[in-house]
Structure formats: structure tokens, C-alpha cells
């Protein structure tokens, strides 16, 4: 069953808020910016993570140094899952943030 537009936006909003909270609580020297539904995380070393909603596809997209990733929401597990690797968003972010910023953050629940 496809997500409704309203449910999709609620899920992305909640996910972006969780991401903001994790990064705010991390103590890292980063800049967070939200504009037109796009969350950009800028690390001290100049690298970035960009989270954007793709409404027509009902996907959350992530752009990172290691590439671009597309996530579908899995209602059964209540998690965003990469459409290629089946990796959960939180697991992938733990690895990517460690690679880009050299720190381990806990993205449990994403």
C-alpha cells in the first residue's frame, strides 16, 4: 500500500526532527539548515549530508560523499529502508557520519 501524501510528509517531518535532535545533541561543530523541506547538515570539514523529500515517489533521498541513496518507508518495520541495499536509514547514517565526520552517533529508531 502506498503512503498517502499527508502520511509521507508527517513521516519525513518526524524523521528530519529526529535527525536535527541527534545532531544538536552530538556536540559537533555543524551547521543545520532546513529550507523547502530539505535538511542540510554541514560538517566542520566541509562535507555535507543532504536529506530531501521526493514527494511523487514517496521517498526520502540522502546525498552524501559516498553517493546518493533513496529510502522507502516500510510500514511493517516502521523504518526508512534503502531501495537498493535494504539497509535501514539509521544504520547507514551511523556508517556515513563516521566516514565523513569521524564520529560515532546513535541513530537508533531511524
Strands (DSSP E) found in the chain: 31-35, 38-42, 48-54, 59-64, 67-74, 79-82
Strands 59-64 and 48-54: antiparallel
In 3-state terms, what secondary structure has residue 63? strand
pLDDT of amino acid 109: 82
pLDDT at 2: 78
Q: What is the pLDDT along the chain (110 residues), one digit of tens a residue?
A: 578 999 999 999 999 999 999 999 998 999 999 999 899 999 999 999 999 999 999 999 999 999 999 999 999 999 999 999 999 999 999 999 999 999 999 998 88
CATH architecture designation of domain 3-99: 2-Layer Sandwich (3.30)
Domain ranges of the chain: 3-99
| CA 23/CA 99 separation, integer angstroms | 15
Amino acid at each position: 500500500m502506498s503512503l498517502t501524501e499527508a502520511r509521507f510528509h508527517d513521516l519525513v517531518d518526524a524523521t528530519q526532527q529526529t535527525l536535527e535532535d541527534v545532531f544538536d545533541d552530538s556536540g559537533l561543530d555543524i551547521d543545520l539548515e532546513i529550507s523547502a523541506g530539505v535538511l542540510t547538515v554541514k560538517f566542520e570539514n566541509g562535507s555535507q549530508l543532504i536529506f530531501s523529500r521526493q514527494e511523487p515517489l514517496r521517498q526520502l533521498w540522502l546525498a552524501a560523499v559516498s553517493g546518493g541513496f533513496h529510502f522507502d518507508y516500510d510500514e511493517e518495520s516502521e523504518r526508512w529502508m534503502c531501495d537498493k541495499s535494504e539497509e535501514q536509514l539509521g544504520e547507514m547514517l551511523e556508517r556515513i557520519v563516521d566516514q565523513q565526520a569521524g564520529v560515532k552517533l546513535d541513530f537508533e529508531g531511524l
